[in-house]
Structure 1
């Protein structure tokens, strides 16, 4: 049987009952797939009789060499970045399709899938709009790391993390949906708390959209200002000269889009934890790893910004990195920023 026999909601979050018994399916999957590849009915049978966590993991592992080879050939290590906004939704589609084909209730999984499609659509559009699919456009952080650790060590990093572990992470962050799928066998209907979780996910996508849009508007205005030397309507010269956005959500958080993105996956984890009554469970590994990516990459982004913009250090002191825990960008901060900028300018002279 592709799913465990469960008698309680707590069982749904028990790794030893819901995942561990199916690990042998992963070892057998390559040979089973090879034997079934020419027979559509056999492939369907293999899909339906393989635990969805295991088949998702098998898919992830199968993509490793593709991402690694493409990255090494092109010397562009942002291949996973290009599908970052797509893969989680692919895994959610997988859960929804698998549940339907096996005749399981899908109301919970469908709600997750609805949010995930909106999330992917928004992120993918934003990535295309800023030229994210142009060669090298997202490569600067990897280039900084490569310069720091050397080419050989960077190849090892590519093998162990960039083209491999990141793919596993993008599956792992969706594993709370597996818990929702399991709990739907015991309680298939959408309760009021379930609906609140689903709507919270969509609300966070909206917050992330507004944060990104505000950033886009600022940089569009800055580009116009650099081209015409005229301050665009709705902006001040100080804002344009500063070089980074301190308006809207960015007045209270240095990375409001990152904050919303992280909260999305924390909320999905919380949903699975609430449903099972197991508030610390194995699916936490995905969200902790996801938060770790932001914890590791954001300082690199900020180091670059601090080097480019004199007032950024004031921004760092007064505005929270993710959550609005600081004082915010006030008139007092504006004046301090100007003094720091003028002092930095005199030093350069």
Structure 2
């Protein structure tokens, strides 16, 4: 019976996850349909407003379709799991939204830039979605982010309304901010140049580094799980592969991806778009502190992780400190 209930819950959450973005998608497709049939000057006030305010419209979609709807679903299910898989989906939706908006500049240079960024976003999304579901044993909604669970215990009875701001409204600031380069690349008519290819190379490097780092982490966790099942001592810390050069190479790769997009936008004259990635990087720095504190609370790995902290770079990959060779216990 337990397996049957789990399968039913998994199917229900999967169907729910596919249905939740439909209100925004259908509204946007309706807008595009009306725009194709009518002159922009003859559009009704509602469609004319959608035409003139693409950024505000995207934020309204996010507020009602993600913040409000996801929050209500999270309250009903007592789990705010859905924002995690949708972190990988929303940028894909946004890049297609910006690319198909009537105000997007259409020329051969911009078409290529748009296609490249759209393809890169899909690759990034597939990579991150694969890692999410691999970590969750290919199930939907099994658990929420451990940080949300910690905050739930911290805020107690107030969590039901605090969660709206901590889980959802904050995500709107981060996601809409870091995705701004996806908007501005559709505004300018400029031939692709060397700086564009530098940005593309950085994006691809970030995706590759994050993939290999997360795969190495997954293999490490899987091996430890098997050792534990066999009653054997587990390995306290991952310090092989990319993890011997950085304590958080997956975070580093993720940041490279977003900063690569910033370079593409900067090359078009929209350097201010770096603000979104900067805020996201500062937030991830805070998350890094939380993750490392969590590691140090686990007795079996605390000593090894303390040495790891002293000898290994936090984010940017670099050679280990000579201290690593002075301990036979590491």
Q: What TM-score, normalized to structure 2?
A: 0.77
Q: Deviations over 1:74-106 (max 9, x none)?
A: 121232112111111111111222269874532
Cα shift at 1:137 = 2.8
Pick from 139, 142, 147 the counterpart of residue 148 of structure 2: 142
Pair 38,102 (structure 1): closer, same or farther in 2 beyond 3 Å: closer
Pair 255,206 (structure 1): closer, same or farther in 2 beyond 3 Å: same
Cα shift at 1:130 = 1.1
Pair 242,92 (structure 1): closer, same or farther in 2 beyond 3 Å: same
Q: Deviations over 1:179-230 (max 9, x none)?
A: 22222x2x1x322321231132112101111111111121222222223357
Equivalent residues in 2 for 1:138-177, closer than 5 Å: 138-152=144-158, 154-177=159-182
1:122 maps to 127
2:274 maps to 284
In structure 2, what is the Cα distance between the partners aligned to 1:39 and 1:227? 55
2:12 maps to none
Pair 158,290 (structure 1): closer, same or farther in 2 beyond 3 Å: same
Pick from 201, 213, 221 the counterpart of residue 215 of structure 2: 213
Of structures 1 and 2, the larger Rg is shown by: 1
For residue 320 of structure 1, give the secondary structure of its aligned residue in structure 2.
coil
Q: Deviations over 1:91-146 (max 9, x none)?
A: 11112222698745322121111110000001111111111754453432212122
Judge conservation of contact 2:205–2:253 (CA < 8 Å) in 1: no
Larger mean Cα displacement after TM superposition, 109-118 or 139-148: 139-148
In structure 2, what is the Cα distance between the partners aligned to 1:200 and 1:39? 33
Equivalent residues in 2 for 1:149-298, closer than 5 Å: 149-152=155-158, 154-183=159-188, 185=189, 187=190, 189-228=191-230, 241-276=234-269, 279=271, 281=272, 283-298=273-288
1:131 maps to 136
Judge conservation of contact 2:59–2:176 (CA < 8 Å) in 1: yes
Q: Deviations over 1:278-305 (max 9, x none)?
A: 54x2x23321221233123222222221
Equivalent residues in 2 for 1:74-89, closer than 5 Å: 74-89=77-92
RMSD: 3.1
Judge conservation of contact 1:60–1:168 (CA < 8 Å) in 2: no
Pair 290,254 (structure 1): closer, same or farther in 2 beyond 3 Å: same
Cα shift at 1:43 = 9.0
In structure 1, what is the Cα distance between the partners aligned to 2:31 and 2:210? 44
Give the paired residue count: 289
In structure 1, what is the Cα distance between the partners aligned to 2:58 and 2:70? 17
2:9 maps to none
Q: Deviations over 1:293-321 (max 9, x none)?
A: 31232222222211111211111122122
2:100 maps to 97
Q: Does 1:302 align with 2:292?
A: yes
The runs of at least 4 aligned residues of structure 1 exceeding 3 Å deviation read 36-40, 42-45, 99-105, 132-136, 328-331
Task: Note the residue ranges of structure 2 that are not aligned, 5 or more in a row.
Answer: 1-23, 38-42
Q: What TM-score, normalized to structure 1?
A: 0.73
Q: Deviations over 1:244-300 (max 9, x none)?
A: 211001011111001110121122112212321x54x2x233212212331232222
Cα shift at 1:334 = 4.6
For residue 192 of structure 2, give the secondary structure of its aligned residue in structure 1.
coil
Pair 264,148 (structure 1): closer, same or farther in 2 beyond 3 Å: same
Task: Note the residue ranges of structure 1 that are not aligned, 5 or more in a row.
Answer: 1-29, 231-239, 338-349
Pick from 106, 109, 113 the counterpart of residue 114 of structure 2: 109
Pair 126,42 (structure 1): closer, same or farther in 2 beyond 3 Å: same
Asked which structure has the greater RCO (Cα within 8 Å, sep 6+), the reply is 1
